[in-house]
């Protein structure tokens, strides 16, 4: 098969009923007129999907708090601290926070200032993938790849959020594209640049940034034209760059004495190395006991572990639409390469992007630890490249060789059937769409089979276009629901997903402490229906308590479950009252009012999201704490990071998270608390409600939280709710789940 963009053409037997293609009349490097406008149109479409109504959507408050802290303290910016006082960090390396923090330092702290680098990185990822695919398979393949990547539902959802995955994917795609260029051109500098990109990806999300590295290594070792000695030297130099760019932050943290640095969130001993190897390292893959990153069984947010996980009710509509097509395109493309030279550019690209896809698929499917749906956005570039490049190879084979006439139609047929299955899972959602997908798929397949021979190229093109539209219709509808509809976004910014409800991401076996929810797959009190935004996968199933003996979510009423952002919350059926609530007939959603809500926005326990993840804690409590702060460094200490970030964003003052996101960090001990109180750096501690005290598993959230809570109760002075709340009633403070605020002074430390 030959191509104007293939520098290593090789011949294949032509079909008897299809003449060989005419030699190109234009220079190989001249782009068709439609190519650049098509790319610009895709980038504009992507920008609209990623940015439309962004100020009204929910960010991850956990990261928003850390970004704000970085605008107030360069030390917090470097370490990724949750507060400007630098008590505890987030549970990731801070590279993504550094990028967003710099933007907010320059332009001011806000949703758009925070998200501008994220959207820029997302658009750059599309452009890089387009450029890389174009140099191998041509402009049609590049356009298809860019469009598939832009419209992947989970990619649209995560690119509207301040989680680090957007920057992670950008860095990995850049690294892969540079590696392909280094192998093709036999140049060292792109190879070193690839290593640097993967190192920065490591500093964005640790081992997740290295998943594609084996494919890059295999590509260079197998396809490089350099002698073996030179290949080994080049790989050693790249390994040095990779090590430096990956571990500079961890080494820098280790060089700072523990007393002079914040506790590294997610670790068991306050070190970056423990975070790398445990919570955010092998624990994510193999599960087991740990500090929230593991948890046996691989249940929780993405369903049970297994090779079919990507196709289950939770993940299927997020990432699997074109997985069957990409698999057929990969296998078909490799077969079509046949006996091509080892340095064949198309085979190089298939090895790279096929390896990328297989590695991510296997790891995500079999991961026994925490597995959020939005992790699967890392699969999207590989799927997109294979659909574009492999799809063009299958089309060319269909036109030229009758032995391949059935492969592309089968690929589209399987894709169309799977799209119908996914669409029918969303009961009552756009019920007209799946019949349209079915009709277009059948029409396209029939056209391909009938029109492949003879002088009917335009009709064949129309048939392929019809099948392609059918394949993209489902993911496009899911993707568009995030910025334009009311069904996207499970659990707002903490666990973003797109599209309608098709499954619940909680309650699986052993779903250990997870971002976007609660450890152990626990549930919220006071309801039996799904929550989150319109009950989307990744929201809260109703009923029950939070795990680990934790209290109910503050600010609830009679079954209204909270959500972030300004959408509408889902209504449960229970009647449990959350701590700090003033009763009434409906709770208040963080950052937005749920149906039937009668109270103020935000929660008395310090829980609140606000549009853009900008806080929403009770203003009366914050005013009281500020008035009686008495020169303390921190306004308040609460049990976990989500609550501390929400109060911090509302108060714009430092707030301590005593035990991290999952409530299981060993950050706050009785001795440490005594030290802070004795120095006058902390006066107020909240235990019990506000997502309070027993929220964890092993470590800080267990014994340490009990010890600290008991010491505070014994030595501190309880602050009655009536002292700071004009609307408090006896019913709101008499319950066993009532939030408890205590005042501590140096005289209390004896």
The Cα-based distances of 705 to 173, 549, 676, 687 in angstroms read 42, 11, 16, 9
Give the closest residue to 604 by CA, choosing from 627, 632, 583: 583
Q: Tokens at residue 298, please?
A: 């691989």
Reported as a pLDDT band with limits 50, 70 and 90, residue 661 is: confident
Which residue in 526, 532, 574 sits closest to 554, CA to CA? 526
- Give the pair of three-digit tokens for residue 503: 């499954």
Chain segment 470-513, per-residue pLDDT in tens: 999 999 999 999 888 755 445 556 788 998 877 765 433 333 33
Confidence of residue 663 (pLDDT cuts 50, 70, 90): confident
Phi/psi-derived region of residue 324, left when phi > 0, alpha when psi is between -120 and 50, beta in every other case: alpha
User: What's the pLDDT tens digit per position in 305-358?
Assistant: 899 999 999 999 999 999 999 999 999 999 999 888 989 999 999 999 999 999
At 278, is the pLDDT very low, low, confident or very high (cuts 50, 70, 90)? confident
CB atoms within 10 A of CB 55: 13
* Average pLDDT rounded to a whole number, residues 437-443: 97
Most confident segment among 51-60, 431-440, 443-452, 518-527: 431-440
Q: Is residue 9 predicted with pLDDT exceeding 90?
A: no
- When mean pLDDT is compared across 160-174, 199-213, 293-307, 417-431, the lowest value belongs to 293-307
Q: Cα dihedral sign for 413, 418, 423, 427? A: positive
- Which of these ranges, 86-95, 493-502, 569-578, has the smallest mean pLDDT? 569-578
Q: Which two tokens stand for residue 560?
A: 């209204």
Average pLDDT over residues 5-9: 43
- Residue scoring higher pLDDT (541 or 662): 662
Mean pLDDT of all residues in the chain? 79
Q: Which residues contact 129 (CB under 8 A, 6 or more apart)?
A: 142, 145, 146, 149, 173, 177, 381, 384, 385
Cα 239 → chain centroid:
27
- The stretch 110-118 carries a mean pLDDT of 95
Question: Which region, left, alpha or beta, applies to residue 534 given φ > 0 means left and ψ of -120 to 50 means alpha?
Answer: left
Q: What is the pTM of this model?
A: 0.81
Most confident of 176-180, 295-299, 482-486, 640-644: 176-180
Q: How confident is the model at residue 281 (pLDDT cuts 50, 70, 90)?
A: low
Q: What is the pLDDT of residue 739?
A: 54
Counting runs of H as helices and runs of E as strands, what totals does the chain give? 26, 5
Residue 598 pLDDT > 70:
no
Residue the block writes with tokens 């605008």? 71
For 254, residues 6+ apart whose C-beta sits below 8 A from its C-beta are 271, 272, 273
At residue 369 the predicted structure's pLDDT band, cuts being 50, 70 and 90, is confident
pLDDT at 696 over 50: no
DSSP state of 13: P
């Amino acid at each position: 098969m030959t191509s104007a963009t293939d520098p290593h053409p090789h011949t294949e037997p032509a079909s008897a009923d299809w003449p060989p293609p005419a030699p190109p009349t234009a220079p190989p490097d001249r782009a068709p007129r439609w190519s650049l406008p098509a790319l610009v149109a895709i980038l504009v479409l992507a920008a609209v999907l990623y940015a439309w109504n962004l100020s009204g959507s929910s960010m991850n408050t956990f990261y928003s708090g850390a970004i704000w802290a970085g605008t107030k303290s360069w030390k917090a910016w470097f370490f990724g601290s949750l507060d400007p006082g630098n008590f505890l960090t987030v549970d990731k390396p801070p590279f993504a926070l550094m990028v967003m923090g710099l933007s907010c330092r320059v332009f001011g702290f806000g949703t758009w200032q925070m998200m501008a680098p994220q959207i820029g990185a997302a658009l750059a990822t599309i452009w890089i993938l387009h450029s890389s695919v174009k140099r191998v398979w041509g402009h049609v393949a590049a356009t298809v790849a860019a469009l598939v990547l832009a419209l992947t539902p989970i990619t649209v959802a995560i690119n509207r959020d301040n989680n680090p995955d957007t920057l992670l994917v950008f860095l990995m795609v850049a690294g892969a594209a540079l590696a392909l260029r280094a192998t093709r051109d036999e140049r060292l500098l792109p190879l070193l640049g690839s290593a640097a990109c993967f190192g920065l990806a490591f500093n964005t999300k640790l081992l997740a940034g290295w998943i594609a590295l084996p494919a890059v290594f295999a590509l260079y070792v197998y396809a490089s034209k350099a002698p073996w000695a030179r290949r080994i030297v080049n790989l050693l130099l790249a390994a040095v760059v990779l090590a430096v760019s990956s571990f500079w932050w961890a080494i820098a943290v280790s060089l700072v004495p523990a007393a002079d640095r914040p506790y590294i969130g997610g670790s068991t001993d306050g070190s970056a190395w423990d975070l790398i190897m445990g919570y955010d390292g092998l624990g994510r893959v193999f599960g087991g006991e740990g500090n929230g990153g593991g948890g046996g069984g691989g249940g929780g947010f993405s369903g049970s572990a297994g090779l079919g996980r990507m196709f289950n009710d939770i993940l299927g509509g997020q990432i699997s639409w074109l997985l069957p097509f990409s698999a057929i395109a990969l296998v078909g493309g490799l077969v079509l390469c046949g006996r091509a030279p080892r340095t064949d550019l198309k085979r190089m690209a298939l090895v790279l992007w096929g390896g990328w896809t297989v590695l991510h698929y296997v790891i995500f499917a079999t991961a026994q630890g925490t597995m959020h749906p939005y992790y699967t956005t890392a699969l999207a570039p590989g799927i997109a490249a294979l659909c574009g490049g492999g799809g063009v190879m299958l089309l060319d084979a269909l036109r030229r060789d009758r032995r391949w006439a059935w492969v592309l139609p089968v690929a589209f047929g399987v894709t169309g059937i799977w799209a119908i299955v996914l669409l029918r899972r969303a009961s009552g959602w756009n019920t007209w769409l799946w019949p349209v997908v079915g009709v277009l798929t059948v029409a396209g397949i029939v056209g391909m089979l009938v029109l492949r021979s003879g002088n009917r190229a335009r009709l064949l093109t129309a048939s392929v276009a019809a099948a392609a539209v059918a394949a993209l219709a489902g993911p496009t509808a899911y993707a568009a629901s995030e910025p334009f509809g009311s069904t996207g976004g499970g659990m707002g910014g903490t666990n973003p997903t797109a599209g309608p409800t098709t499954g619940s991401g909680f309650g699986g076996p052993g779903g250990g402490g997870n971002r976007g929810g609660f450890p152990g797959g626990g549930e919220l009190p006071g309801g039996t229906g799904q929550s989150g935004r319109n009950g989307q996968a990744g929201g809260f199933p109703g009923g029950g308590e939070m795990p680990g003996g934790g209290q109910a979510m503050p600010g609830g009423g009679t079954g209204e479950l909270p959500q972030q952002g300004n959408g509408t919350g889902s209504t449960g059926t229970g009647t449990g009252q959350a701590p700090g609530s003033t009763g009434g007939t409906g709770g208040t959603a963080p950052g937005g009012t749920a149906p039937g809500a009668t109270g103020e926005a935000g929660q008395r326990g310090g829980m609140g999201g606000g549009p853009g993840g900008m806080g929403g804690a009770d203003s009366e409590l914050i005013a009281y704490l500020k008035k009686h702060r008495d020169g303390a460094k921190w306004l308040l200490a609460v049990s976990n990071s989500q609550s501390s970030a929400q109060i911090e964003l509302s108060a714009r003052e430092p707030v301590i998270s005593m035990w991290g996101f999952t409530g299981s960090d060993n950050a706050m001990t009785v001795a440490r608390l005594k030290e802070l109180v004795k120095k006058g750096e902390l006066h107020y501690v909240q235990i019990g409600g506000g997502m309070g005290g027993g929220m964890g598993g092993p470590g800080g959230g267990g014994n340490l939280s009990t010890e600290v809570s008991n010491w505070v109760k014994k030595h501190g002075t309880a602050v009655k709710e009536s002292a700071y709340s004009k609307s408090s009633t006896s019913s709101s403070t008499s319950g066993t789940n009532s939030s408890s605020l205590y005042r501590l002074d140096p005289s209390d430390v004896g």
